[in-house]
Chains A and B, each alone.
Chain A
Amino acid sequence: MPIETAEPIIQMRHVDKHYGQLHVLRDINLDVQKGEVVVLIGPSGSGKSTLCRTINRLETIDSGEILFEGKPLPQEGKELAALRAEIGMVFQSFNLFAHKTILDNVTMGPVEVLHRNRKDAEAEAMELLARVGVEAQAQKVPAQLSGGQQQRVAIARSLAMHPKAMLFDEPTSALDPEMINEVLEVMVELAQEGMTMVVVTHEMNFARRVSNRVVFMADGQIVEQNTPDEFFDHPQSARAKDFLDSIKGH
């Protein structure tokens, strides 16, 4: 199901990045359309997480440019913070604020960044928590929740900011197998509602079922990209074929 609108919300142009000697991103060119779900896959160390994190500038880049809604990413300060407020991010290790209750985790952004009044923020937070199925845990602290519950809270926390796009950096990689699906289900729902999503994942079923496009990376480069059916059934490059062979049976 390719997106036809051709209204790019994220544009990456000739993006390069090094970690010392290591060339982690090599001449990355990638457009993400509004409402599109793009899945980044590739072997460990291929740069897919780094790419994902450059989009809200958690990682800086050496050269090239990244545009969000047609404007270059601000480099620092209030402008950068304002941009980040428009892009949701879900981390591998959840990163819920450990000293805050679940409810306070979800209201933190709306209250502190969007300056909404606490009552309204809490009402909406409870709705979001109900939507991801953890409203009963609202008064607990993160450490009292299972990994799957924590990750669903993290998604609710991002949604509370009404983001224009969401980044998922290996959202299920730190979860026990039985908790992966509860998180993926929430993500599937989001995708169906038309959220723009960039997802770094090893969940090939999710990629196949939900994404509009699969981007395969290796050694810091985008090796190939295609619709999920085409990519999984007819990979073009040797790297992609090897990768898909190596994960078969999972």
Chain B
Amino acid sequence: MSANISMRDALYEAPGPKTQRRVRIGTAISLVLLVAFIAFVIRQFYINDQLNPKYWSFFARWTTWRFLLKGFIGTIKVAFAAGIIAMALGLLLMLGRISPNKVLSATCHVITDLFRSLPSLLLIYFFFLVIPKYGIRMPAFWMITVPVALAASGVLAEVFRAGVNAVPKGQVEAAMSLGMTHGKITRKIVLPQALRIVIPSLVSQLVVVVKDTTVAYVVSYPDLMQNARVLISNYDALVSMYFVVALIYIAINYATNQFSVYLAERSGTQVLSRVDENPV
């Protein structure tokens, strides 16, 4: 949180008495508007009979939650597997792209851009509809995990590359002057610092992976979204079910973000090199 405050301090000067008064008035107005909006939503729910107990009572049943929990575990499994694969593949693509070998570099560049620009749904259809035609059958789990991972790997490769580029050149020069070889410099000096730099963008990309898993229904994989759809048709409770599922997705992604804050704090911003480059 302190980071946000210092960012605000850096962007705006300290408010004077007039501004403070204006800020107080603005805060009061927005509070009123917020309350009015919530009241409006509840009223709409009421008018449309969405508060009717029949739409909510099944949440009191253990079986509902057990079914949702199964879907939740499915989502976590896909997201976790896809996240790991995407990070590994993204790292490899980036390393290939920054390699001095021109052919390897160009190939990885093309693959990265391809995965980055293809919608993940299109990749899913490819694995779901095209590949089975050539006799390759995979379980539904992999039909959703692989395309989601591929789509994310392109973006992650770019995230990693941004991190590598952000490591000051002086770090590499110092390592070279000690007689370290290219591979060792990459492993011991560049990557450890690059990864620390990109933790925030890395995690926001993993949030996108979690959201991408929601198209698992295409391949009938029982993730949270798919199971929610089953419950919706069973109980005819569209709004209430999507409302609850939305809260669960928000919780998952909030937890992911908190994890990134923890990681960033643990690795310590002070260990990032902030030396200005000033060659003569």
User: Does B277 contact A97, Cβ atoms closer than 8 Å?
Assistant: no
B95 → A minimal CB distance (Å): 19
B107 → A minimal CB distance (Å): 23
| B280 interface neighbour in A49, A88, A142, Cβ under 8 Å | A49
Interface residue tally for chain A (C-beta within 8 Å): 41
Query: Is B8 interfacial (CB 8 A cutoff)?
Result: no
Query: Is B245 interfacial (CB 8 A cutoff)?
Result: no
Q: Which residue of A lies closest to B269 (CB)?
A: A143
Among listed B66-74, B180-188, B199-207, interface-contacting one: B180-188
Q: Which residue of A lies closest to B275 (CB)?
A: A93
User: Does A144 contact B184, Cβ atoms closer than 8 Å?
Assistant: no
Interface residues on B, range: 20 to 34
A97 → B minimal CB distance (Å): 6
| A108 interface neighbour in B173, B178, B196, B275, Cβ under 8 Å | B178
Q: How distant is the Cα of A215 from the Cα of B51 in the complex, in angstroms?
A: 88
User: Does B178 contact A161, Cβ atoms closer than 8 Å?
Assistant: yes
In the complex with contacts A98-B273, A170-B280, A84-B174 CB distance below 8 A: no
User: Does A157 contact B275, Cβ atoms closer than 8 Å?
Assistant: no
Q: How distant is the Cα of A121 from the Cα of B170 in the complex, in angstroms?
A: 24
User: Does B174 contact A91, Cβ atoms closer than 8 Å?
Assistant: yes
User: Does A92 contact B271, Cβ atoms closer than 8 Å?
Assistant: no
Q: Could you jot down 30 A-B contacts, CB within 8 Å? A: A44-B280, A48-B280, A49-B280, A78-B181, A81-B176, A81-B181, A82-B179, A83-B179, A86-B179, A91-B174, A93-B275, A93-B277, A94-B275, A95-B275, A97-B175, A98-B273, A98-B274, A99-B192, A99-B272, A99-B273, A108-B178, A108-B188, A109-B180, A112-B180, A112-B188, A143-B273, A154-B174, A157-B178, A158-B177, A174-B278
B-binding residues in A (CB < 8 A): 44-45, 48-49, 56, 58, 77-78, 81-89, 91-99, 108-109, 112-113, 141-144, 154, 157-158, 161, 167, 170, 174
